[in-house]
Chain A
């Protein structure tokens, strides 16, 4: 035993760059972060070159085939459309959609999280709640917006869409968070109890951190469903304030395809931003689960 050097026995595994990427979190985010993880100028150059080629390639093909602007807008005219009247055409509508999305997600996910904590502790509550959850998950919530607008909330405010976003995102948070809360590690709970931890302390210091990676996944999936519902809801029954979905319908019905494309770009940017936000949250709070 004594002839084995200490430094061999307790060797720290050294992580090279590629290993570090794999520790990013519960989801494989590597597709999004190719630029962040690119190592050499050659890699970055290639990534930029492909993006430029796609942009001008599309422009070239549309010019060569003389495709009319009302069939498929050219990338350059889309960018130009994005640059004119940016606030009145996109900015204020982005703000409306963002409000619906954020308020809806906040309400839905809070209820989902509390219910998840509750049903995993009390199996009886789970039996009562489960059928409604399955119904909420399987029904597209944007179908509810016209109904909410006419029957329940009776008005052209953002609230029917907020409710639909909450109903779409909440169950996703609930389902994933419940999976997380069900991961009971008895040894870790026993550890906390041996130090005299209360039930609340066990929840805060053991159960919640253990569930956190799954909760973040729930928020991720829930926000994708939420954004879908917000934009879709605006398309079927927009509020007086408009919203990006409303703009899509408006521009397509007036055949302003460059503006339509620009609106799509704004929606895509919003979606990607949400993804990036959750990427960093996952990296910060769930990276321990490699």
Chain B
């Protein structure tokens, strides 16, 4: 099953992606025959229960590990390893290096790539996410939300064309999560990056996405793709509307029955 949103050649093409791990108890199918296209400038959320292979898929997209079968293309070119100039990765929890202060954490990618640090861009992004004045603070001195903001700045400082986000706000409390989602949407509107956002939170997925790609429990397969037609800019108030809650219930049902049932949307 291939889900396309139509139009010209996709930014990211995932074709028949499958991944099998060798565990002690035998091979584990984490991901099976998964195909989607992601268009340039699109914000796609990949949604599924824990252990459905979302992270496996995202890591394959970032070139951190190979697939057992299938292929992933970025701008038509096969992904065979990390693509640091085009792909920015955000991880579960902020994943800052605790022995570096905020500024040094944000400069870390420049150091690895041995490129001159783009200080003006970093300063502008730090200001944008409201971290000015905390550049010399260490991660443990900052709240989870502030750490995640620094992590966003680190990913964006390189100006990649695609952001891959692996449940970045999963560990945050509900208030901070809402705030981070609004911040992400604002940054996305300004920069028009292509974003693939993995989450297990249904309302977060609907709130952020142009399309929500629902996955089945293990082995992860594509269950259904929802086009989210909520107007933008989106507000937290929209999440209290009956249609929004109805959509949450629809998606929840799709996840539970493993996607074999065809769900009508709108």
A residues neighboring B (CB under 8 Å):
1-2, 4, 6, 9-13, 15, 187-188, 190-197, 201, 205-206, 209-210, 212, 285, 288-290
Residues of B that sit less than 8 Å from A by CB: 59, 62-64, 82, 84, 87, 89, 91-93, 95, 97-99, 108-109, 111-113, 130, 137-138, 140-143, 145-146, 158, 174-176, 178-179, 236
Please tell me if the beta carbons of A9 and B111 are within 8 angstroms of each other in the complex. no
Q: What's the Cα separation between A2 and B235 when bound, in Å?
A: 10
* CB closest chain-A residue, reference B138: A288
Interface centre among A188, A195, A212, A285 (most CB of B within 10 A): A195
B145 touching A187, Cβ below 8 Å? no
**Inter-chain contact total with CB atoms closer than 8 Å:** 79
Q: What are the residues of chain A within 8 A of B158 when measuring CB–CB? A: 195
In the docked arrangement, what's the CA distance between A201 and B130, Å? 31
Contacting pair B141 A188 (CB below 8 A): no
The answer, among A9, A10, A187, A212, for a CB contact under 8 Å with B91, is A187
* 17 cross-chain CB contacts under 8 A: A1-B175, A9-B179, A10-B143, A10-B145, A187-B91, A188-B95, A190-B91, A194-B63, A194-B82, A194-B84, A194-B87, A195-B84, A195-B109, A196-B84, A212-B99, A288-B98, A289-B98
Give the chain B neighbours of A194 by CB distance below 8 A.
Answer: 62-64, 82, 84, 87, 89
**From residue B87, how far is it (CB to closest CB) to chain A in Å?**
7
Say yes or no: A9-B145 contact (C-beta < 8 A), given A1-B178, A194-B87, A196-B82: yes
CB distance from A243 to the nearest CB of B (A): 39
Contact A1 B236 (CB under 8 A): yes
Q: Given contacts A190-B91, A195-B82, A201-B112, could you give 16 more A-B pairs where the C-beta distance is less than 8 Å?
A: A1-B179, A6-B130, A9-B143, A9-B176, A193-B82, A194-B82, A194-B84, A195-B84, A195-B108, A195-B158, A205-B108, A205-B111, A205-B112, A212-B99, A288-B98, A288-B99
Contact between B97 and A188, CB atoms less than 8 A apart: yes
A6 CA / B141 CA spacing, docked (Å): 17
Contact between chains at A11 and B91 (CB < 8 Å): no
Q: How far is the CA of A11 from the CA of B236 in the complex (A)?
A: 22
Please pick, from B91, B112, B146, the residue contacting A197 in the complex, using a CB distance under 8 A: B112
- A-B CB proximity, top 10 nearest: A196-B84, A194-B89, A195-B112, A288-B99, A1-B178, A195-B109, A195-B84, A288-B98, A197-B112, A209-B99
| Residues in A whose Cβ lies below 8 Å from that of B179 | 1, 6, 9
Q: Is the CB of A190 within 8 A of B92?
A: no
Contacts of A6 in B (CB 8 A): 130, 179
Kindly state the separation between the CA atoms of A195 and B158 in the bound complex, as whole angstroms.
10
Least CB distance, B82 to chain A, in whole angstroms? 5
A287 to chain B, nearest CB (A): 9
Bound state CA distance, A112 and B145, in angstroms? Answer: 41
How far apart sit A9 and B59, CA to CA, in the bound complex (Å)? 31
Q: Check A190 against B236 for contact (C-beta < 8 Å).
A: no
Q: Which residues of B contact A193 (CB under 8 A)?
A: 64, 82
Give the residues in chain B near A196, CB-CB below 8 Å. 82, 84, 112-113
Q: Which residues of B contact A187 (CB under 8 A)?
A: 91-93, 95
In contact, A9 and B112 (Cβ under 8 angstroms):
no
Q: With A and B bound together, what is the CA distance between A288 and B98 in angstroms?
A: 6
Task: Please tell me if the beta carbons of A9 and B175 are within 8 angstroms of each other in the complex.
Answer: yes
Q: How far is the CA of A9 from the CA of B178 in the complex (A)?
A: 11
Output the least CB separation between B155 and chain A (Å). 9
Q: Which of B98, B158, B178 has the largest number of chain A CB atoms within 10 A?
A: B98
Q: Are A12 and B142 also in contact (CB < 8 A) when A195-B82, A197-B112, A205-B111 are?
A: yes
- Once bound together, how far apart are the Cα atoms of A90 and B217, in whole Å? 75
Distance in Å: Cβ of B178 to nearest Cβ of chain A: 4
Q: In the complex, A1→B172 CA distance in Å?
A: 14
Residues in B with CB closer than 8 Å to A290 are 140
CB distance B84 to A11 under 8 Å? no
Residues of B within 8 A of A197 (CB): 112
Whether A288 and B59, one on each chain, are in contact in the complex, defined by CB atoms closer than 8 angstroms, is no
Bound-state CA distance A15–B179 (Å) is 26
Known A1-B179, A9-B179, A197-B112; judge A191-B89 contact (CB<8 A). yes
The CA of A4 and the CA of B145, in the complex, are separated in Å by 14
Distance in Å from the Cβ of A289 to the closest Cβ of chain B? 7
Inter-chain contacts of B87 with A (CB < 8 A) = 194
Q: Residues of B contacting A289 with CB < 8 Å?
A: 98
